[in-house]
């Protein structure tokens, strides 16, 4: 994830916009899990007017990286401040349908995540159909926690990028043990932390900062 040097105005605008957003309506069916979820159109509808009311806009463009596909999402404010997030999913098959499904899911999830919209059940299993049910359930829980804890996730990512180990330890310890466990999903399975970020969270520097914060 990338950010402008400061995001104070963007963050204030996003907080105001979130106050006007409702939950995206679960209007699409997921036959595999026999559940309902909010499709991309509903997510766009939920953010469109609140974003416009507070000088926010977004853009998304598809990417394909090796055996994964997804989107880059940019959330922008009229001040020029921005947040740029990349989200990819592993592909079970390498045809146009599987790629399109992964990109559509990634667009929906990434927009929900960056906007902080309350999430419904996920249909991402179509993009990763070869995964067993337990893995799909794990990813669904990961996505739910990632959305609910987005501010902490953003701080963690920024601290890693800046090499600020004390700030990283502080942001990490704001999470509960269950939240940490849910977020610890490999990027190859759709996890929000990259391989490099996971490496930072297992580094000696991070462990030292964490122990110092906990007084160990």
The confidence score (pLDDT) of residue 125 equals 45
Average pLDDT over residues 179-206: 87
Do 154 and 115 fall within a single domain? no
Q: Rounded distance, CA 25 to CA 119, Å?
A: 9
The confidence score (pLDDT) of residue 208 equals 94
Q: Rounded distance, CA 152 to CA 156, Å?
A: 6
Average pLDDT over residues 44-72: 90
Range of the domain at 25: 1-130
Q: Establish if 79 belongs to a structural domain.
A: yes
The band of 55, judged by pLDDT with boundaries at 50, 70 and 90, is: very high
To which residue do tokens 């997510």 refer?
43
Domain boundary among 99, 130, 161: 130
Question: Tell me: the pLDDT tens digits for 74-124?
Answer: 999 999 999 999 988 776 566 676 677 778 878 888 898 888 876 544 444
Q: Compare 131 and 17 and report the one with higher pLDDT.
A: 17
Do 95 and 36 fall within a single domain? yes
Q: Compare 74 and 27 and report the one with higher pLDDT.
A: 74
Q: Rounded distance, CA 172 to CA 184, Å?
A: 12
Do 22 and 79 fall within a single domain? yes
Q: Compare 136 and 18 and report the one with higher pLDDT.
A: 18
- In this prediction the pTM is 0.53
Do 38 and 99 fall within a single domain? yes
- Count how many residues are written for the chain: 216
Do 117 and 153 fall within a single domain? no
Average confidence score pLDDT of the chain: 78
Which sign, positive or negative, has the C-alpha torsion 98, 132, 1, 143?
A: positive
Average pLDDT over residues 54-59: 96
Residue 162 has pLDDT above 80, yes or no: no
The confidence score (pLDDT) of residue 93 equals 64
The confidence score (pLDDT) of residue 78 equals 97
Radius of gyration of the chain (CA): 17
Do 179 and 89 fall within a single domain? no
Do 119 and 162 fall within a single domain? no
The two beta strands, 68-77 and 56-65, are: antiparallel
């Amino acid at each position: 994830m990338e950010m402008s040097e400061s995001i104070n105005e963007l963050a204030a605008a996003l907080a105001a916009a979130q106050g006007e957003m409702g939950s995206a309506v679960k209007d699409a069916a997921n036959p595999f899990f026999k559940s309902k979820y909010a499709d991309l159109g509903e997510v766009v509808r939920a953010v469109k007017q609140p974003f416009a009311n507070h000088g926010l806009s977004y853009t998304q463009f598809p990417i394909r990286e090796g055996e994964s596909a997804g989107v880059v999402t940019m959330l922008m404010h009229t001040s020029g401040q921005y947040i740029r997030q990349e989200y990819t999913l592993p592909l079970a098959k390498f045809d146009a349908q599987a790629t399109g499904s992964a990109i559509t899911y990634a667009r929906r999830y990434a927009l929900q995540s960056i906007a902080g919209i309350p999430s419904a059940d996920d249909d991402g299993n179509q993009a990763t159909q070869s995964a067993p049910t337990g893995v799909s359930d794990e990813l669904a829980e990961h996505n739910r926690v990632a959305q609910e804890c987005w501010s902490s996730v953003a701080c963690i990512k920024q601290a890693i990028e800046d090499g600020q180990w004390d700030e990283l330890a502080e942001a990490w310890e704001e999470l509960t043990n269950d939240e940490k466990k849910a977020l610890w999903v490999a990027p190859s399975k759709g996890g929000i932390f990259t391989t490099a970020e996971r490496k930072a969270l297992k580094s000696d520097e991070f462990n030292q900062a964490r122990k110092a914060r906990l007084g160990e």
